[in-house]
Amino acid sequence: MMRALLLFLTLGVASAEDGLAAWLRYAPLPGVAKSEGSIPSNIVALNATTTSPVYTAGLELQKGIQGIFGKQVSITHQSIESLSTVVVGTVDAYAQEYGLDDDDTADLEADGFWLSTLNGTIQILGQNERGALYGAFEYLSMLAQGNFSQVSYISNPNAPIRWVNQWDNMDGSIERGYGGPSIFFQNGLIVNDLSRAEDYARLLASVRINGAIINNVNANASLLTPQNIAGLKRVADVFRPYGVQLGISLNFASPQLLGNLSTFDPLDASVIDWWTNITDQIYEAVPDMAGYLVKANSEGQPGPITYNRTLAQGANLFAKALQPYGGVAMFRAFVYNQLNESDWRADRANAAVQFFKDLDGQFDDNVVVQIKYGPIDFQVREPTSPLFANLLQTNTAIELEVAQEYLGQQCHLVYLAPLWKTVLDFDLKVDNQSSVVSDIISGKRFNRPLGGSAAVVNVGTNNTWLGSHLAMSNLYAYGRLAWAPTQDPEAILQDWTRLTFSRDPTVLRAITQMSMESWPAYENYSGNLGVQTLTDILYTHFGPNPQSMDNNGWGQWTRADHLTIGMDRTVSNGTGFAGQYPPEIAAMYEDPSTTPDDLLLWFHHVNYTHVLHSGKTVIQHFYDAHYNGSAVAQTFVPLWESLKGKIDDQRYNHVLFRQEYQAGHSIVWRDAISNFYHNLSGIPDTENRVGNHPWRIEAESMSLAGYKPYQVSPFEMASNYTAIVTLTNSTVGTADTTLNFPDGKYDVGVNYFDLIGGISRWDVSLNNNSIASWTGNLENVLGHAPSIYLDGHSATRKTIRGVQVKKGDVLKIVGTPNGIEPAPLDYVVFLPEGVLD
C-alpha cells in the first residue's frame, strides 16, 4: 500500500514536469513535516469577489501550501481568531477587519506590499489588491525555496510601468517568436480557449508584471473590429484576477484602413473623433485597460510624419483619447530611416535623439516614450541609448527583449540579466549629477510621474513557453529587475533555479555556472568589441553572416575592409553619435584610449592591428574570443549531464538536446566569423587555429557517389568553402574515405546543413557498422527562424561520442535527400580527448 502510494506520487510529479508551471511548480519540499508549526493552517483572503487579486492570492496560497507541504488548507474571506493563519488583503481591508498599527505599512506605494512572518502569523498586506497578490507570491517563493526566515519588510516597485509586449500577429504567428504560435490569436480573431492566456497572467503576476500588450507593434487595424473588441474583453477578464492590465498595439492608419476615412492625419477632426470613439468602445468593454503601444513612422509603418505632423502630435492623439480613463500611450522611439553607407557621417544610431530630442516637453503627461536599451536593435552589446539623457521633460521606459531575437533564439542559452544590467546601472551623468538609467525610467531622476520598462517576450503555445526551459530565467529576471533593478542577476537566477528545478546544490551550481557564463560566451563567439552581433540581419537574425551588416541601407554597419573595422562615431571625425551623451560620457567615448574595449568598434574605426587595453590586437581578440567562447559552450553539455537523475527526464532531455545543439552551433559561429575576418584582413591567427583543421575530413575530398561538391555562399559558412549535396533530390548520395588517424577513441562530429523544406536522412558507418543515423528535422524541434539555404542558420554539428577508431577503418556516410534538402554535408571531424576542431 505504502509502496503503491509512493510510486503514484513519483509518477504524478514526473508527468507534470513539462515546463508549463515554469517557476510556479510548488514542488514538494523534502524533509519538512506537515505538522511543522510554520505551515499555516488557515488562509484569510480579505476579499470575496472572485475577480479580485486578493481572492486570487487566497487560491494561490492554498495551491502552494498543498503542493509544497501536501497540506489542504481552507480559505475564508473574513477575519477569524486562529493561530497559524496567513492573512492576505489590502492595507485598508486589513485595517477594517483587524485594526492596524500604521508604522509598518506607512511607506507603501502603489503595487507595494508588506510581508511579515513573525511568530508564525503571516500577514501579507498590499497597498492595493495587486500588491497583496505580489506579497502572496513572495511568501510562496520563500516557502518553495525552503526559506522559513522570520521576516517583516515592505517592498515597493522601482517604477509604475512593468509591462510585457507580445509581437503576436492576428493570424496566430508571432514575429520573432520561438515558442510556437500565439496563445491569443488565430485566424484573425482572439482564440476561444484562453486558459494559456490565464496561465501567462499568473506567471507575469508572480514576478510583478502589471501590464501586457498582446499584439504585434506592426499592428493590424482589424484588431479594432467589434468582434475583436469583444475578444479583448475576454482576455482582460482572464488577466484581471492577476492584476495584469491588458494593452494593445495600434496601427496608426486604422482610421483609413478600418474606418474608411480618407485620412489618418492626427490633427484632422474626423480622425480624432474616430480614435475617441474606438477608445470609448474599448473602455466600455475593458474599463481597466492599460493603454496603447504605437510604432509609428518606423520600418514602413504609417505615422504622423506622413502628414508632416510631429511624433509628439502623433503620440498625443492617443494620449488625449486615453486620458479620461487613466490610460497610458506608450510611443516607441524606434524611428529611423534607411541610410547610405557611402556617407561617413550617416548613422542610424543617431536617429532616436534626432527625432525625439527637440520634442522634449511636447508630450502629454500620459505619454511614455519606450526606448530600446541601445541605439540600434537588441544587439549582443550596445552602449546605453543616449535618448535617456536627452528627454528631461518626457516620461520614458526602457524596452528590453526576452525573446532572443539576435541572441540565439532560445536555441543558445543566453542569460540576459547581466546584459540588461550594463544599461540599467549605467550612469549618464546628466548635468554632472548621478543619472542612472533605472532612476531615469522610474521617473525619480527628472521628477516624472510615469515610467518603467517593457520587454518583448513572445511566449507561444509550446509548453516551455519560450521554446526552451532554461530561457525562462530571462522572463523571471525581467520581472524581478523591473521591480528592483539593483538586484543581483546571479541571486535572481538562483531563486529561479531553486523554484524551477531543484534546491539541490549541485543543480544550483551547474545552472548558475552555465547561465552566468552564457552571455559572455555568446558575445565571444558572435560579435566582439561592440561591432554588433554579426548575425544575418537581412534574413533570420539567427546564425552568423557578417557580410549582411554592410552595403545596405539598414545602418548596422561595421565598415570592415581589408585594413580597418568599426564605426567612427566620434564628433571630431565621425558621425557625431558620441556627442549625443552628456559631456563626461561623450568625452570617454570620443577617445579610443578611454573607450572600454568591449565598445571600441561601436565608437571607433580602427586598424585590425589596433592594440586594445588588454594588450591584444583587435583581430587577435576576435580569434581568441571565438575560440574561447565556443570552448565554453562545449562545457555546458557535461555540466548539464552532471544533473542527470537530479532533474526529471523530460526537462533533462529537452535541455540536453539544446545544449548539444548550441555546442555544435557555437563552432559554426566560431569558424564563420574567424574565417571571414581572416580572409578579409589576411592577418594570421598567432595560435595558428584559424583555417587549420588537422582533425577534419572535408566531405568534398571523400569518394563521392550520387553527391557533388557545392560552393557555399557566404563562403565562410562551410569548411574549405565547400559542402556536398546529392545530385538530385531523389538520388541517394554516398561519401566514403579511409581513416588515417591514430588508433583510439574519438568524438566524431559531422557537420551538415538542416534546411526547412525537407527532412533528409544521414547514416554514418565505420566499416559498415552503423555509428549514427538521424534526420534533418530541426525545423520541427528547435523553433529558431529556419533557412532554405546552406548557410550559418542551417549549419549544424552532430556529435557521436566515444567512437573507437583504427587506422584504415572505412568511414561511410549515406545521405538520403528529401524535398529541397539535398542531404548536405560539410565535413567530418575526429576529436581525440581534449581536442576541439
Ligand X SMILES: *[C@@H]1O[C@H](CO)[C@@H](O)[C@H](O)[C@H]1NC(C)=O
Helix (H), strand (E), coil (C) string for 589-644: HHCCCCCCHHHHHHHCCEECCCECCCCCEHHHHHHHHHHHHHHHHHHHHHHHHCCE
Grouping H, G, I as helix, E, B as strand and the rest as coil, residue 486 is coil
From CA 796, how far away is CA 737, in angstroms rounded? 21
Phi, psi values for residue 339, rounded to 5° = -135, 165
Residue 584 DSSP code: H
Q: Which residues make Cβ contacts (< 8 Å) with residue 688, sequence separation at least 6?
A: none
Residue pair 372/437 in contact (Cβ under 8 Å)? The answer is no
What size, in residues, is the chain?
837
Q: Which of 331, 345, 328 is nearest to 391 (CA)?
A: 331
Footprint of ligand X on this chain (CB under 6 A)? 47, 49, 51-52, 90, 93, 118-119, 129, 142, 147, 149, 151, 170-171, 180, 188, 220, 222, 259-260, 277, 280-281, 284, 308, 344, 461-464, 467, 563, 568, 573, 605-607, 698, 700-701, 709, 720, 722, 729-730, 781-783, 818-819
In whole angstroms, how close is the CB of 746 to ligand X at the nearest point? 19
In whole angstroms, how close is the CB of 391 to ligand X at the nearest point? 21
| Cβ proximity to ligand X, 42 vs 635, nearer residue | 42
In whole angstroms, how close is the CB of 240 to ligand X at the nearest point? 8
Active site residues: 299, 377, 405
In whole angstroms, how close is the CB of 242 to ligand X at the nearest point? 11
From CA 745, how far away is CA 726, in angstroms rounded? 30
Residue pair 19/410 in contact (Cβ under 8 Å)? The answer is no
- 615 alpha carbon, distance to own chain's centre: 33
Residue pair 24/67 in contact (Cβ under 8 Å)? The answer is no
Task: Indicate the residue whose CB is closest to ligand X.
Answer: 188
Grouping H, G, I as helix, E, B as strand and the rest as coil, residue 212 is strand
**CA count, 13 A, side-chain hemisphere, 33:** 3
* CA torsion through residues 135, 449, 296, 554, sign: negative
User: First and final CA of the chain: distance in angstroms?
Assistant: 56
Strand partners, 697: 828
Angle between helices 489-500 and 505-525 (to 10 degrees): 130
Burial of 124 (0-12, 13-18, 19+ CB in 10 A): buried
The secondary structure of 272-334 as a DSSP string is: HHHHHHHHHHHHHH-TT--EEEE--SSTT---GGGGT--HHHHHHHHHHHHGGGT-EEEEE--
Grouping H, G, I as helix, E, B as strand and the rest as coil, residue 132 is helix
In whole angstroms, how close is the CB of 445 to ligand X at the nearest point? 27
Spatial strand order in the sheet of 810-816: 703-705, 733-738, 810-816, 761-766, 769-775
Q: Which residues make Cβ contacts (< 8 Å) with residue 586, sequence separation at least 6?
A: 571, 578, 579, 580
From CA 52, how far away is CA 241, in angstroms rounded? 5
In whole angstroms, how close is the CB of 719 to ligand X at the nearest point? 8
CA distances from 88 to 84, 774, 776 (A): 13, 54, 53
Residue pair 68/29 in contact (Cβ under 8 Å)? The answer is yes
Alpha helices in 429-566 (DSSP H): 437-441, 472-483, 489-500, 505-525
**CA count, 13 A, side-chain hemisphere, 772:** 17
Cell of 787: 533557412
| Cβ proximity to ligand X, 308 vs 432, nearer residue | 308
Residue pair 575/568 in contact (Cβ under 8 Å)? The answer is yes
| Cβ proximity to ligand X, 381 vs 605, nearer residue | 605
Phi, psi values for residue 185, rounded to 5° = -125, 150
